[in-house]
Amino acid sequence: MILILIVLSVLGFALLNVFAKKTWQTALSLVLGAVFVISLVALMANLTYHFGMEKEVTSKTTELVSSGDSDRFDLLLYQPLGDGTEKVYLYKTDADQDEPKQTGTDKVTNVVETGADEAQLTADTTRWVYQSDVYRFLFGIADNEGEYVERTNTFSVPDSWAVLSVDQAKKLASLAEEQADTMKTEGQAYVQEKMQAALMADPTMDESEQQAKIAEYTAAYQAEAMQKLVEEAKK
């Protein structure tokens, strides 16, 4: 619509200036000239500064599964870019997914938060939209509604997850394979020692209670061993 106003105001201004013989015709030509200038300025302001528009943020939350292929580790992977200050995160939203998806690099900010109850990705995308139907009617021909501004990806993962680079994840898998036998032996010894202490503290513990304690101590050892492997993989 704004282009139509510009064209009509130019034509009207030109015609009235050529054929104007009366005062009202001259006045009308000045009004049309003002309409032309205002319309042109408004169009340029829309194209350059998004006049008549506002930023709208849409949010989408998706559950995550481990980015790695191992059943022993829950991982969120990233690939460093350049000097390492920028990272592309690799993530999976489905256990049957062959290859992980990756975050973009065009005006994208990635944030990782730990301590979550479950792993999930919240993507907040900002786009330009028109403030009202009037602005949309005037400037819709510019086809800039929904223009991308920026995106913030917030990865929320439990403390049991490790956030590693692709190279660190490969090192972790290698370390886990090398130390598998040692970890098994140490794990059995750890659980046995803990169970002996628990039985001394409560000799009346029944079978189900003992099994629950074994599961608890096994999980505790695995978490501790995992943390040590992760720290070594990061070196």
Per-residue pLDDT tens for 169-205?
999 989 988 988 888 999 999 999 999 998 899 888 8
- pLDDT per residue as tens digits for the range 41-89: 887 888 888 999 999 999 999 999 999 887 778 999 999 998 777 899 9
pLDDT computed for residue 223 by the predictor: 85
- pLDDT per residue as tens digits for the range 140-178: 877 889 999 999 999 999 998 999 999 999 999 899 889
Task: Tell whether the model's pLDDT for residue 231 goes beyond 80.
Answer: yes
Q: Specify the residue for token string 């870019």.
A: 81
Q: Specify the residue for token string 């292929």.
A: 69
Give CA torsion, residues 46, 48, 49, 52, to 10 deg. Answer: 10
DSSP labels for 63-131? Answer: E-B-SSS-SS--EEEEEEETTTTEEEEEEBSSTT-SS-EE---SSEEEEEEE--SS-EEEEEEEEEEES
Q: Give me the domain span that covers residue 118.
A: 55-164
> What number of CA atoms fall less than 13 Å from residue 145's CA on the CB side?
13
- Indicate whether 174 belongs to any domain: no
- Indicate whether 83 belongs to any domain: yes
Regarding whether 154 and 84 lie in a shared domain, the answer is: yes
CA atoms of 71 and 91, how far apart (whole Å): 15
Q: Could you tell me the CA-to-CA distances from 169 to 58, 71, 95, 111, 234 in Å, in that order?
A: 33, 13, 18, 19, 9
pLDDT computed for residue 192 by the predictor: 92
Regarding whether 62 and 42 lie in a shared domain, the answer is: no
Which pair of tokens denotes residue 143?
């086809």
Q: Could you tell me the CA-to-CA distances from 60 to 72, 107, 110, 138, 235 in Å, in that order?
A: 29, 17, 14, 31, 35
Could you give the number of structural domains in the chain?
3
Q: Specify the residue for token string 């049309």.
A: 32
Q: What is the mean pLDDT of residues 209-235?
A: 89
Regarding whether 84 and 69 lie in a shared domain, the answer is: yes
Q: What is the pTM of this model?
A: 0.79
Determine the angle formed by the axes of helices 207-233 and 166-178, rounding to 10 degrees: 130
Regarding whether 96 and 8 lie in a shared domain, the answer is: no
Q: What is the mean pLDDT of residues 96-113?
A: 93
